[in-house]
A and B are shown apart, each in its own frame.
Chain A
Amino acid sequence: MFVSLIALTVAMPAAAQTLAVTHAEAWTMEGDAPVKDATIVIENGRIVSVAAGGAAPADARVIDAHGKPVTPGLVNGATQIGLVEVAGSSDTVDTSSADDRNPGYDVSRALNGNSTLVSLARADGLTRALVYPSPSRRAPFNGEPALARLRDGVDILDVANVGVYTVIGGGAWERIGSRAAQWDSLRNALTEAKRKADGPPAAGGKKDRKRPSPPPRGGPGGRHGGEELLADVLRGEVPLAIQTHRESDIRQAAALAGDFGIRVIIVGGAEAWRVADQLAAAKVAVIVDPQVNLPFNFDQLGARQDNAALLAKAGVMVAVGQAGGVIHANYNAGMGLREGAGIAVANGLPYVEALKAVTVNPLTIWGCGGGRLTPGADADLVIWDGDPLEPSTNARSVIVEGRETAIRSRQDQLAERYREVR
């Protein structure tokens, strides 16, 4: 018996299981409408087929969606889950580097999949999240964000070093002062990195274009990302994310993208709607919190809830992140995202665009791809008991990399323990 179990385990690793979701209202993110009564077949962690009325393979485990919506797993465009446990207790928080000597801070080395924030977010349908660093002592860069994949267990790293992160704004860096100095600092750092990347002029006046091959991303030993990853930013391989809100700063960001020929992402962007056309022209994507209709500081006086709608209309790629501000952006990284997307719809963003803003778009913006229900795509998907953008809806099943994950959160367990207490 024992032996045969082992044999079975070897023959059928969990990832190799064939899974079929039937009778789904499948929001594939390919068109503007869902595929009704779809059968989604999953093998080896990938989607094999999505077909209306399709048959489930004979050996598949079948999950009947009963006509309810099935979406790609939701992706939070900017959060800090995995780095935070109890925000009020700094000894449980790993969001920033206090190291004056090291320009890099690779968040992937701190990610904790066992965090209760992560399991709750997964229960709310979140399967991936961009995890970003807070301001470090070493301006202008905070460090390198990573993409997390909310599979079960402690290891939730998906892709490390997916960009370089900085913050610009009033009061953002007390040591540097004015935002003018902040922009100077950022431009100087990019210029310096460009000079290093180009190398010293070789004898005879020719530039030596040979560079040492870059070390593997996120591998042992780290990258001291700040400096090394900047070369990737300059080559357009990873984006420079700028967390900023004021119109004047967003114009600076768009100009920076053009001047250096780099990919820039705006995170926050409360006044981005004022600059929508320039952002579209400069192909600068924006990660917004659609809940914001009050300015947290003087940089956000133009905050309005149709920000996402106005940006999308102008052709700017929009994702939802930091949704719900300081209270919800981490502690309800899944629910806050859904609520934010729903509010964006209530304020003029077409429904399918809102779904894209929490699936395909954040992955595209962070350069990782995916977020669709299409043959060959990663099998990250959620089966809902209603409209996923309604906070009254529950996720029934959350599948990450082809496996059903645990979605009974600690909160559910506490609630069940005290359900009959009178």
Chain B
Amino acid sequence: MRMRQLGLSVMVGALLFAAPADAQRSAPLPWQEDPYPSRYQAPVASDMLLRGATILDGAGGRIDGGDVLVRGGKVAAVGKQLANPGVPEVDATGRWITPGVIDVHSHDGTYVLPLTEIDSEASDVAEVATPNSADTWIETAVNAQDMAFDRALANGVTTLQILPGSTPIFAGHSVVVKPVRAPTVWGMKAAGGIQGFKMACGENPKSWGADDDNEGPTSRQGVIAYMRQQFADAQRYKRAVEQARAGAGAMPPRDFKLETLAGILAGDVRVNLHCYRAGDIAASLGVAKEFGFRIGAIHHATEAYKIPGLLREAGTCAAVWADWWGFKVEAQDAIRAEAPLLEQAGVCVMMHSDSPADGQRLNIAAAKAAAAGRRIGVDIPPERMIKWTTGNPAKLLGLDKQVGTIAPGLQADLVLWSGDPFSIYTHADLVLIGGAVAWDRAKPPAGPVSDFELGRGGARP
């Protein structure tokens, strides 16, 4: 077996050298294809001029008494005393405008409340039959009727990445959605970003592996070793596919797990890694370095503040909480000041939720983190804090040319807040997605929004 592969690779190598570069690029490689294309239809946009607000642009800029002109679904201009080309004006005096909030770690649609017995027996949060669920696509499980989407929208969220859970080491493909009403997730799916993927290290996968009758590693070292072996297999698979594409040798039979991991190696699929301890993060970054790919973000990353240099060098972001800590041993050293410390150290940092409750209040999480920073003398101003929930997450999702900052030409995903977006008393007055009013607090929907709520009565945002 080994001999045959070796012989094949030598022969194919010679042919590959001769193959024209164009042939390799002409058709997308298997892992570049999306088997579940978006059916999102941009709603009809409303042109408007938001006048006289405090603007945090999501890129570090702040304008007091500034205006935003929205035309044709995009931001047409940002500045002071903009001329009105004849669109309705909104008096935003005393209010604040930011880009729409982006939550890069949601389980909405799969961790659907209310939970029932079926969720404890067989949950859709992750496929746990094996530690390698790299062939799964979470979107094939998402229930678009989860009312958590409506709650998120009413609180200023305009983009969410739904990730699989952290039981498998390779947990599967993510999906990025807009919280708009649609009968299926594909009507919500945002296009144009980079394909996301979930991996996990540490206590979750090893605890599952250690449970009776479960397949999988039972220790941290076992988890890392498992990752290396899978990536080594994927390297061979990727080479075989590329060589076959170049006209040398037969295309290997489709193996969706190896295909996905090959996509990670190729940089076409971006890893979101669930990882807590500094040592686990360092070991995982080591695996990425060994196999020549970049991890997009370490999620949870409760000890990233101990190793900012490693993250900076790897070009890997940290997606963090403000105040989840202690609920398991590997989260004992979490600190509320993590985001400001990472920001100060020059690491790309963002808030994330992991929860339909906290996903409604990511700016409040940022406020808590900043307060903890101030306690130890690290003061981050609002125009930088807002990057944690807007500009930086957009980069992770590969959507920064579309959303995440307020700049001419970008999609008008905006929130008009009733006041300081970091205050507990502030409401999202107006939420625009692609320039269309997706939520207007002055005109809340008369009845329930999701199918689930219909006819049950009572529940309100």
Given the known A-B contacts A390-B423, A418-B305, are A274 and B326 also in contact in the complex, defined by CB atoms under 8 Å?
Answer: no
User: Counting CB contacts under 8 A, is A300 at the interface?
Assistant: yes
Among B134-142, B190-198, B287-295, B369-377, the stretch that binds chain A is B369-377
Whether B460 and A89, one on each chain, are in contact in the complex, defined by CB atoms closer than 8 angstroms, is: no
| Chain B residue at minimum C-beta to C-beta distance from A303 | B459
Cβ–Cβ < 8 Å partners of B355 in chain A: 327
* B334 vs chain A, min Cβ distance (A): 8
Among A40-48, A228-236, A408-416, the stretch that binds chain B is A408-416
Cβ–Cβ < 8 Å partners of A89 in chain B: 328-329
**Which of A116, A296, A419 makes the CB contact (< 8 A) with B376?**
A419
Cβ–Cβ < 8 Å partners of A394 in chain B: 371, 374-375
A394 to B370, CA, bound (A): 10
- Sorting the interface of chain B by its residue count into under 10, 10 to 19, 20 to 34 or 35 or more gives 35 or more
Q: Which residues of A, 294-341, contact B by the 8 Å Cβ criterion?
A: 294-298, 300-306, 324-325, 327-328, 331-332, 335, 339
A274 to B308, CA, bound (A): 50
**Which of A86, A274, A301, A418 makes the CB contact (< 8 A) with B327?**
A86
Among B54-62, B80-88, B96-104, B113-121, the stretch that binds chain A is B113-121
| Chain B residue at minimum C-beta to C-beta distance from A422 | B345
A88 to B334, CA, bound (A): 15
Whether A325 and B357, one on each chain, are in contact in the complex, defined by CB atoms closer than 8 angstroms, is: yes
* B364 vs chain A, min Cβ distance (A): 6
User: Counting CB contacts under 8 A, is B129 at the interface?
Assistant: no
Cβ–Cβ < 8 Å partners of A325 in chain B: 357
User: Counting CB contacts under 8 A, is A117 at the interface?
Assistant: yes
Whether A328 and B306, one on each chain, are in contact in the complex, defined by CB atoms closer than 8 angstroms, is: no
**Which of A87, A301, A392, A414 makes the CB contact (< 8 A) with B333?**
A414
A327 to B334, CA, bound (A): 14
Whether A296 and B378, one on each chain, are in contact in the complex, defined by CB atoms closer than 8 angstroms, is: no
User: Counting CB contacts under 8 A, is A389 at the interface?
Assistant: yes
User: Counting CB contacts under 8 A, is B457 at the interface?
Assistant: yes
| Chain A residue at minimum C-beta to C-beta distance from B367 | A392
Cβ–Cβ < 8 Å partners of A306 in chain B: 460
Cβ–Cβ < 8 Å partners of B447 in chain A: none
Whether B324 and A419, one on each chain, are in contact in the complex, defined by CB atoms closer than 8 angstroms, is: no
Cβ–Cβ < 8 Å partners of B461 in chain A: 293, 304-305
A279-297 CB mask vs B (1 if < 8 Å, else 0) is: 0000000000001111111
Cβ–Cβ < 8 Å partners of B307 in chain A: 421
Cβ–Cβ < 8 Å partners of A346 in chain B: 424-427
User: Counting CB contacts under 8 A, is B341 at the interface?
Assistant: yes
Whether B341 and A392, one on each chain, are in contact in the complex, defined by CB atoms closer than 8 angstroms, is: no
B308-331 CB mask vs A (1 if < 8 Å, else 0) is: 110000000000000111111100
B421-461 CB mask vs A (1 if < 8 Å, else 0) is: 01111110000000000000000000000000000111111
Whether A294 and B357, one on each chain, are in contact in the complex, defined by CB atoms closer than 8 angstroms, is: yes
User: Counting CB contacts under 8 A, is B356 at the interface?
Assistant: yes
Q: Which residues of B, 140-163, contact A by the 8 Å Cβ criterion?
A: 147-148, 151
User: Counting CB contacts under 8 A, is A114 at the interface?
Assistant: no
How would you classify the secondary structure of chain A's contact residues: helix, strand, loop or mixed? loop
A386 to B432, CA, bound (A): 32
| Chain A residue at minimum C-beta to C-beta distance from B377 | A419
Whether B370 and A294, one on each chain, are in contact in the complex, defined by CB atoms closer than 8 angstroms, is: no
Whether B148 and A294, one on each chain, are in contact in the complex, defined by CB atoms closer than 8 angstroms, is: yes
Whether A414 and B367, one on each chain, are in contact in the complex, defined by CB atoms closer than 8 angstroms, is: no
Residue of B147, B306, B355, B425 ringed by the most chain A CB atoms within 10 A: B425
Cβ–Cβ < 8 Å partners of A380 in chain B: none
B364-393 CB mask vs A (1 if < 8 Å, else 0) is: 100110111111111000000000000000
User: Counting CB contacts under 8 A, is A345 at the interface?
Assistant: yes
Whether B114 and A328, one on each chain, are in contact in the complex, defined by CB atoms closer than 8 angstroms, is: no
Whether A294 and B113, one on each chain, are in contact in the complex, defined by CB atoms closer than 8 angstroms, is: yes
User: Counting CB contacts under 8 A, is A252 at the interface?
Assistant: no
Given the known A-B contacts A298-B116, A332-B323, A345-B425, are A412 and B376 also in contact in the complex, defined by CB atoms under 8 Å?
Answer: yes
Given the known A-B contacts A294-B148, A325-B357, A391-B364, are A421 and B424 also in contact in the complex, defined by CB atoms under 8 Å?
Answer: no
Whether A415 and B323, one on each chain, are in contact in the complex, defined by CB atoms closer than 8 angstroms, is: no
B40-79 CB mask vs A (1 if < 8 Å, else 0) is: 0000000000000000000000000000000000000000
Residue of A328, A391, A416 ringed by the most chain B CB atoms within 10 A: A391
A301 to B457, CA, bound (A): 8
User: Counting CB contacts under 8 A, is B199 at the interface?
Assistant: no
Whether B460 and A301, one on each chain, are in contact in the complex, defined by CB atoms closer than 8 angstroms, is: no
* A118 vs chain B, min Cβ distance (A): 12
A305 to B368, CA, bound (A): 21
A332 to B355, CA, bound (A): 16
* B305 vs chain A, min Cβ distance (A): 5
A2 to B456, CA, bound (A): 74
User: Counting CB contacts under 8 A, is A271 at the interface?
Assistant: yes
| Chain A residue at minimum C-beta to C-beta distance from B334 | A411
Cβ–Cβ < 8 Å partners of B324 in chain A: 327, 331
Cβ–Cβ < 8 Å partners of B364 in chain A: 339, 391
| Chain B residue at minimum C-beta to C-beta distance from A392 | B367
A295 to B387, CA, bound (A): 31
Whether A392 and B368, one on each chain, are in contact in the complex, defined by CB atoms closer than 8 angstroms, is: yes
Q: Which residues of A, 85-118, contact B by the 8 Å Cβ criterion?
A: 85-89, 116-117
Whether A298 and B114, one on each chain, are in contact in the complex, defined by CB atoms closer than 8 angstroms, is: yes
A221 to B146, CA, bound (A): 51
Cβ–Cβ < 8 Å partners of B329 in chain A: 86, 88-89
User: Counting CB contacts under 8 A, is A365 at the interface?
Assistant: no
Given the known A-B contacts A271-B458, A298-B114, A328-B323, are A415 and B335 also in contact in the complex, defined by CB atoms under 8 Å?
Answer: yes
Whether B328 and A86, one on each chain, are in contact in the complex, defined by CB atoms closer than 8 angstroms, is: yes
Q: Which residues of A, 382-415, contact B by the 8 Å Cβ criterion?
A: 389-394, 411-412, 414-415
User: Counting CB contacts under 8 A, is A343 at the interface?
Assistant: yes
Whether B151 and A415, one on each chain, are in contact in the complex, defined by CB atoms closer than 8 angstroms, is: no
Whether B337 and A415, one on each chain, are in contact in the complex, defined by CB atoms closer than 8 angstroms, is: yes
User: Counting CB contacts under 8 A, is A342 at the interface?
Assistant: yes
User: Counting CB contacts under 8 A, is B214 at the interface?
Assistant: no
Whether A422 and B374, one on each chain, are in contact in the complex, defined by CB atoms closer than 8 angstroms, is: no
Whether B372 and A295, one on each chain, are in contact in the complex, defined by CB atoms closer than 8 angstroms, is: no
Whether A297 and B116, one on each chain, are in contact in the complex, defined by CB atoms closer than 8 angstroms, is: yes
* B56 vs chain A, min Cβ distance (A): 15
* B347 vs chain A, min Cβ distance (A): 10
Cβ–Cβ < 8 Å partners of A298 in chain B: 114, 116
* B221 vs chain A, min Cβ distance (A): 21
A418 to B309, CA, bound (A): 12
- 10 more CB-based (< 8 A) A-B contacts, given A304-B461, A415-B373: A297-B115, A302-B457, A302-B459, A335-B323, A339-B364, A346-B427, A390-B367, A391-B368, A414-B335, A415-B336
* CB<8 Å pairs between A and B, sample of 24: A85-B326, A86-B327, A86-B328, A88-B327, A88-B329, A89-B329, A271-B458, A291-B357, A292-B357, A294-B147, A305-B460, A325-B357, A346-B425, A346-B427, A390-B425, A392-B367, A392-B368, A411-B334, A412-B335, A415-B305, A415-B375, A419-B378, A422-B308, A422-B346
Q: Which residues of A contact B (CB under 8 A)?
A: 85-89, 116-117, 171, 271, 274, 291-298, 300-306, 324-325, 327-328, 331-332, 335, 339, 342-343, 345-346, 389-394, 411-412, 414-416, 418-419, 421-422
Q: Which residues of B contact A (CB under 8 A)?
A: 113-117, 147-148, 151, 203, 305-309, 323-329, 332-337, 341, 345-346, 355-358, 360, 364, 367-368, 370-378, 422-427, 456-461
